[in-house]
Each structure stands twice: as structure tokens, then as C-alpha cells.
Structure 1
Amino acid sequence: MARLVLQTPIPQDAWRVVGTVLGSYRENRREVEVTWEELVQVFEHWGYTARPATGATFKFKPRPGTRWPFPSESPRKEFSFHRPHGRVIPKKYYPTYRSILQRTLGWDANTFKVESEEEEIQRRLVEERMRREEEERNRREAQEKQEKGKKRGRVGRRNRH
């Protein structure tokens, strides 16, 4: 029996980029141009770092501790893309990129869909909550660090006398 896989909703701008590369997005039945910067920006927003490897190859590596916005069965693996020489990714690169994403992350043309207005609202609320939690965590860590520094300063002064 075939397993039902639900499509993961993603924002319109990410859908245009990733959907184009995966072959599931067309605008008015025409292929869309995607720039290298747009592709990198989407993956960096999703928790990857994009770093030059060798030559024109860039390695995309998931950052530790990032929350994964994709299907739970999608693995968090690193992969590499060949960066095009121009600003726009040539359409002939799409099959290679598609194959890499299929092989390493298990993505295909049916993995994602553009999010509805309701899904966008929900995502933005979650992102805002995560941002506030991160700010609070950073504030607490800075406060703890400051308190440890004060304690060390007091201990150091006592030992001098």
C-alpha cells in the first residue's frame, strides 16, 4: 500500500525558487528564472550555511540547533551545488540540482506547495514566538555571563588581601 505524503506548505517566494528547481512551479506555463542569490537565501533562511568548497562548488550544511521546517522524514544532510558563472541559474542546472535534492533530502516535485493565507499566518506566529524565545534565551545567557564575571571579580579581590 502506498504511503500518503502530505505536501509541506512554504512561503510564496521560497515556493517560486524551490518549486522551479524541483520542476513543480511555473508561472503562466512558463519557466521562471532563479538567481543563485535567491537559492542561497532560501536555504540560509531554512537553517543552512552556504560556503565555497572547491572551484565553483558550494557546500550547503545544516546549522546545528536549527528547527527543521520540512517534513519529519526529510533528513538533515549536507549537499553541494555547482555555482553558475552568471547571476541566473541556467535551466540546464535544474535536473542536476533536482537530482541532488532528491538523493540527499528525499525531495521531489510533490514535496512542497505554496502556503495558504491561513498557513502563512500560522507560520508567522510560530516564527515570531521562536524569535522571542531566542531573544529571551540570549538575554538570560548574557545575564548569567555577567553575573559569573561579577562573582569572579569578587573572589579575585578577596584573594588579593
Structure 2
Amino acid sequence: MSTIHLHRTTILTPEQFVAGLTDFGPGRSKLFSNSADGYLKVHHRSHSQADVTEGSGGVWERLHYDWSDPGHVVLTTTDSNLWGGASGHAYTFTRRPDGTTDIDVVVVREGKNLRGWILGFVLGTIGKGVLEKAFENSVKAIQTRNGAVVPSGPSGRPALAAIR
């Protein structure tokens, strides 16, 4: 089992990020590259929970989304071709005094077969950078979607890249 911790500081509010995270409409892959439209199926959705199948590249999982606590969103894997056990994602949002938001994500990958075990091991070791890049791209895409202007840091690069 691999547990991966990710962190980003963003100019988004927690509500803006959660709105992107829970938008299961067409074009979701523009926000989350591992959620191709061809895999996406919403089985059920309420005001604070959803049951969704998503994936890409031959990997899929059915997730129970729970955003009833706006500071902590939990995605629990209920079925998958690779993941089982304690697999899922947990997002924690912390508002900072400067108006930015810290997003901390814990991704758990417990393989339910040999392929899942191997991929989980790779993601937990040398593959962590792939998840970090995907998460950073999702934050940037949701910022763009919200028309958020990212202030430049001292190097002229976006402040998001400088904050980490």
C-alpha cells in the first residue's frame, strides 16, 4: 500500500476548488487529466455526495465523494480494476491569513491485484512526481476556470509555483 502526500497553496477559496472537484460534467478531463470523459459515469449525486466512476488509460475506479464538510473532502474507492482496500483520496483545506488556501491531499493506493500492487508501488516511489504534476495542473486549471489572476512572484513566475 502506498500513501502519497501532496500540498499546494493557491489563491482559490476552498469552495472554488470543491466546485471544480465535484463538477462531473463534460470536459472534466480539462481539470483532472486522470478523468477522461469516456470513463465518466455519475451513478448518483446529491448536494454533498456523489457516486462516480472515472478513470483513464485503462485504469478506472468507482468513488464515493463526500463533501459534507467543506474543509475536508473524502473520496473513497468502492470498486476498481486495480485499487481496493483503503484506497482513496482525502483533501483538507486551510484558509491562510493572506487570503490564500492550503490544499493538502492524501492519496492511498492499495492494489487489489498484481498490476495494482505494482502500480501502487511505483506511484509511492518514483511515480510521486507524476501525481504532483497532475495535482498542480488541476489547481492551475481550476484557477483559470475561476478567472483567478495569479500574481507573479519575485522571479516573474506565477506565485503558485513559488509558494508550494
**Taking structure 1 as the reference length, what is the TM-score of the superposition?**
0.29
Name the structure with the higher helix share.
1
**Taking structure 2 as the reference length, what is the TM-score of the superposition?**
0.29
Name the structure with the higher strand share.
2
Decide which structure has the larger Cα Rg and report it.
Answer: 1
